[in-house]
């Protein structure tokens, strides 16, 4: 396969796995990141330089940076993968409005604005795919992660609604809902907490970022051409 893919959040564990997999499959990459420039450099070492069209730094919790990202999108975009985000752990009554605003901007507002900006060209070409990495908590909710669960639930609803709106224009919109994946996002867990979670998963192990990347690869492939508006669980049966 080939085509230009914008990966929002390419410096995260899942985002970088997606970038590496798609680059090896000859997609042309536009890599967004916020702070972890080192991970972008690592991606470059694993791919041919011609696979990476450009890199864009932007803090998606800031309106000015969202606008900056849009102005730096000089290459046409056929596919968008939204893999950015960060979890927040804490009781709702102890969560500040600033954290709420940041989480909503990163997970909901920025993806809406970016999609709105890129959709007209996709619709004109009657070709394009938009994929969200959501979360199992967006499906079932999690105690002490109420805000994160809420914004991931919003992503799920956005996928389902937008899929209905743009399907007739040849644009596919889907989501991948990972369960317990072995990433830095779960490093706050104690060994006891980790083992408790693993004991609840029929496969008895955490998922791998590469397994998320493989599913993204499938959704970008024409073999997935009749999948629309789906939130696909990737959770080992959890």
Cβ atoms within 10 Å of 75's Cβ, excluding its own: 13
Going from N- to C-terminal start, the domains of the chain cover: 4-234
User: What's the rounded Cα separation, in Å, for the pair 218 and 206?
Assistant: 21
Predicted local confidence at residue 1, as pLDDT? 66
Q: Are 46 and 18 in contact (CB under 8 A)?
A: no
% of the chain beyond a pLDDT of 90:
81
pLDDT in tens, 122-174: 999 999 999 999 999 999 999 989 999 999 999 999 999 999 999 999 999 99
Q: What is the dihedral of CA 121, 123, 127, 133, to 10 degrees?
A: 80
**88: nearest Cα among 149, 141, 132, 136:** 149
Question: Can you tell me whether residue 56 is helix, strand or coil?
Answer: strand
Options 27, 33, 79, 148, the catalytic residue: 148
What the block records as the tokens of 184 is 């830095």
User: What's the rounded Cα separation, in Å, for the pair 139 and 173?
Assistant: 17
Instruction: Give 84 or 194, the one with higher predicted confidence.
Output: 84
Task: Tell which CATH architecture fits domain 4-234.
Answer: 3-Layer(aba) Sandwich (3.40)
pLDDT in tens, 38-83: 999 999 999 987 899 999 999 999 999 999 999 999 999 999 999 9
Active site residue 148: yes
């Amino acid at each position: 396969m080939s085509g230009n893919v914008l990966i929002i959040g390419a410096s995260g564990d899942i985002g970088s796995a997606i970038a590496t997999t798609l680059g090896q499959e000859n997609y042309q990459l536009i890599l967004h990141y916020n702070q972890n420039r080192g991970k972008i450099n690592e991606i470059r070492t694993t791919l041919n330089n011609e696979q990476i069209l450009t890199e864009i730094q932007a803090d998606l919790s800031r309106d000015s940076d969202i606008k900056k990202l849009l102005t730096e999108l000089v290459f046409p975009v056929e596919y968008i993968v939204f893999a950015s985000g960060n979890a927040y752990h804490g009781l709702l009554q102890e969560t500040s409005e600033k954290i709420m605003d940041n989480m909503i901007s990163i997970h909901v507002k920025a993806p809406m604005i970016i999609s709105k900006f890129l959709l007209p060209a996709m619709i004109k070409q009657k070709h394009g795919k938009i994929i969200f990495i959501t979360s199992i908590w967006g499906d079932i909710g999690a105690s002490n992660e109420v805000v994160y669960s809420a914004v991931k639930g919003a992503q799920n609803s956005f996928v389902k609604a937008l899929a209905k709106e743009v399907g007739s224009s040849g644009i596919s919109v889907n989501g991948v809902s990972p369960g317990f994946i072995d990433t830095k996002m779960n490093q706050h867990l104690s060994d006891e907490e980790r083992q408790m979670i693993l004991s609840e998963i029929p496969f008895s192990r955490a998922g791998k970022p590469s397994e998320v990347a493989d599913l993204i690869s499938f959704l970008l492939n024409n073999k997935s051409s009749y999948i629309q508006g789906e939130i696909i669980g990737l959770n080992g049966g959890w």
